[in-house]
Amino acid sequence: MTRDTPRDDSDEETPTDDPAARPATDGGSDVAAGADEVALDPWGSSTVSDYRKLFDEFGIESFDELLPEVPSPHYLMRRGVIFGHRDYRPVARALREGEDAAVLSGFMPTGDPHIGHKLVFDEIIWHQERGADAYGLIADLEAHSARGLSWDEIDEHARDYLLSLLALGFDPEEGELYRQSTNREVQDLAFELGSKARFAEFEGIYGFDGETSVSHMQSVVTQMADILYPQLDEPKPTVIPVGPDQDPHMRLARDVAARMRYFKVTEAYASFEANAAERDHLAAAYAALRDGEDDSPVRCAAAADWIEAEMAADAAHDSVVDKLRAAGKEPLRPRVRFLDRNATPEAFDALIEAIPGEKRRYEEHIDAFDMDRADAEDLAREVEVDHGGFGFMAPSSIYHRFMTGLTGGKMSSSVPASHISLLDDPEDGYDKVKSATTGGRETAEKQRELGGEADDCPVYELYAYLLAGDDDEFATEVYEECVGGERLCGGCKEQAAELMREFLEDHQEKREEMEAVLDDLDIDLDTDRRGVAGDGH
C-alpha cells in the first residue's frame, strides 16, 4: 500500500481546543437529572446521560486533552462528538509521523444503515485517508447468534452497509472489507484467543449465565479476533471507532491481547514483585534516599524505614514495607522487568541474549538495568514475533456520542420516525426533519427573547454531526443564531430538511455507482449457509 505522510498540525492554533468555544452537540452540560448509573450493554438499548461518568467508572479518557496531538482532526473530533478515547496516543503519533497504523470497525446488519452509522463510516475513512490500513467488517455471526437474524436478512443488510461505506469514500483497493463468517483467518485467531478467555469473565462483563447460547459466547471471541485482526501480519497501533456501549468489548480485547503476549514488561526496584501503587512508594523512597552525594547503594531496609517515617498510610503502605523488610539489605535499584507469560524456552533464551548491558536472570523473569521501558517493550515484541508469537499491541478505541432521535430520546432502528436511514427516499428524509422535535421555545416571541435551546435540539445535532460537514463556522453560526434568538425553528428545520434531502440524493447516487465496485470485490453477499437463528440467550 502507498502511504502519504500527513501534515502535522499539532503545533498550530486550533480554534476548537477550548471546549467552551465549541458548539455543544449533546445537551450542553452532559448531565441529565436522575442519571445515577451508567450501564454499557453491547446488545441492549444503552444510553448515556452523563458522559463524564464514563471517565471515572470505566477509565475512558477525554478526547479534548488529546486533540492538539491529532493531525488535521476530523470535525467530529473538533466538535466534541468524538468525546473519549482509550489509549489513542500511539495511533495519533503514527498518523503524525507517517508510521504504520490501522483502523477497524464492524457493523451488525440488523436493519438499514442510518445517519448514526455514518459517524463510524466517516471515522474509518478519515483514518484511511491519513495512511492507516482500514478494515470494515460485517458482524454476521453476531447478528445471527445474538440478534436472531436469518442469513437471508443478513445478506440483504450486509450489502447495504458496504455500499454506503464505499459511497462515503472507503477505498477498497487500499483497505479490506469482509464478513466474519467467511474470514478463516479471523475464525482461526478467535480459536486461539478463546484459550485466554474464561466464562467467569463473560458472566462479569456481559451478564452471561447458564441460559446464554454457546454461539453467542463464540461471537464475542470472534469480535476479539476482529479487533486484533489488523495486527496479524505485524503489530501496529490500531484504533476501533465505536459507541460507548461497545466499550466492554474493548476492555476484554485489551486484556486478551495482553494475555497472548510472550512477555509482560514492567518497572521494578528489587527482586520481589510489586503492584503499581507499591512501585510508586518504591520510586519515592529511592529518589529521596539517592538525593545526595553518597554513592553507596540504597538498601531495602532503609527504604522501609523512610516509607514508614515519611509517607502517609494507604492500601500499599504496609504491604510494600513488609516486602522491603523481607528483602533486608538487598539493594534497591530501578530496573525494567521482563516477566515470562507464554514464552517458549527458545524465546526466553533469545530475550536474555538480546538484552543489552547489565541483566539478571530469575526463574520466571529477567531484570535489565540499562534499558528504559519503551525500548524494553520494543525488544520484547521483536523477540516474540521472531519466535512465532503475535506481539499484539493493545488496541485503542475512540468513542462518539449517541445521536438523539428525531422524535426525542434514543435514535432507534426500530422506530422509523426517530432516525433517517441512508436508504430513505430523499423526500422522506426531508419530511422527517421537518417533523422533528426541536429545542425551541413555546412561541416565536419567547424564542426571540430567550433564545432557543440548541443543546437539547435533535435538529441542531443534525447540523453538528452531519449537515454542516467540515464547516465549523457554519455549525457555530447555526448554534449562536439559535441561542441568541435570531434563528426560529421553522426556518432552521427547513434549511436542515433541504440539506438532508441533498445529502441523501447525493449519497444514493454514489451508492448506485458503487454497485459495480462491490460486485467486483471478493465478498460473498449471497451466502448458502443454513441454520436456526439464535436469540442471544
The pLDDT value recorded for residue 414 is 66
CA distances from 349 to 311, 354, 379 (A): 40, 9, 13
> pLDDT (tens digit, 0 to 9) for every residue of the chain, 537 residues total?
333 333 333 333 333 334 334 544 433 333 223 333 444 344 344 444 566 676 667 788 999 999 999 999 999 999 999 999 999 999 999 999 999 999 999 998 888 999 989 999 999 999 999 999 999 999 999 888 888 888 898 999 999 999 999 999 999 999 999 999 999 999 999 999 999 998 888 888 888 888 888 888 888 999 999 999 999 999 999 999 998 888 889 999 999 999 999 999 999 999 999 999 999 999 999 999 987 666 789 999 999 999 999 998 888 999 999 999 999 999 999 999 999 999 999 999 999 999 999 999 988 899 999 999 999 999 999 999 999 999 999 999 999 988 888 888 777 766 778 889 999 999 999 999 999 988 888 888 888 999 888 888 999 999 999 999 999 999 999 999 999 999 999 999 999 999 999 999 999 999 999 999 999 998 988 888 776 666 655
**Domain covering 19-260+394-400, topology:** Rossmann fold (3.40.50)
The pLDDT value recorded for residue 296 is 86
The pLDDT value recorded for residue 206 is 83
β-pairing, 335-340 vs 365-368, is: antiparallel
The pLDDT value recorded for residue 518 is 96
β-pairing, 82-86 vs 175-179, is: unpaired
Residues 6 or more apart from 321 whose CB is under 8 A from it?
304, 307, 308
CA distances from 287 to 293, 309, 328, 332, 353 (A): 13, 15, 19, 11, 30
The pLDDT value recorded for residue 217 is 85
CA angle 147, 232, 531 (to 5 degrees): 25
CA 49 to chain centre: 19
The residue whose grid cell reads 471471541 is: 221
CATH no. of 416-520: 1.10.240.10
Phi and psi dihedrals of 82, rounded to 5? -80, 105
Neighbours of 389 (CB within 10 A): 21
The pLDDT value recorded for residue 35 is 30
The pLDDT value recorded for residue 45 is 43
Sign of CA dihedral 164, 168, 174, 180: negative
CA distances from 433 to 429, 483, 501 (A): 6, 20, 9
Containing 242, the helix (H) or strand (E) segment is: strand 238-242
The pLDDT value recorded for residue 304 is 96
| String of DSSP letters for 118-169 | HHHHHHHHHHHHTT-EEEEEE-HHHHHHHS---HHHHHHHHHHHHHHHHHTT
Write down the domain spans for the chain: 19-260+394-400, 264-386, 416-520
Q: Give the side-chain half-sphere CA count within 13 A for 277.
A: 11
The pLDDT value recorded for residue 164 is 97
The residue whose grid cell reads 485482526 is: 229
Residues 6 or more apart from 291 whose CB is under 8 A from it?
none
The pLDDT value recorded for residue 292 is 65
Using a 10 angstrom Cβ sphere, with 0-12 exposed, 13-18 middle and 19 or more buried, the burial of residue 375 is middle
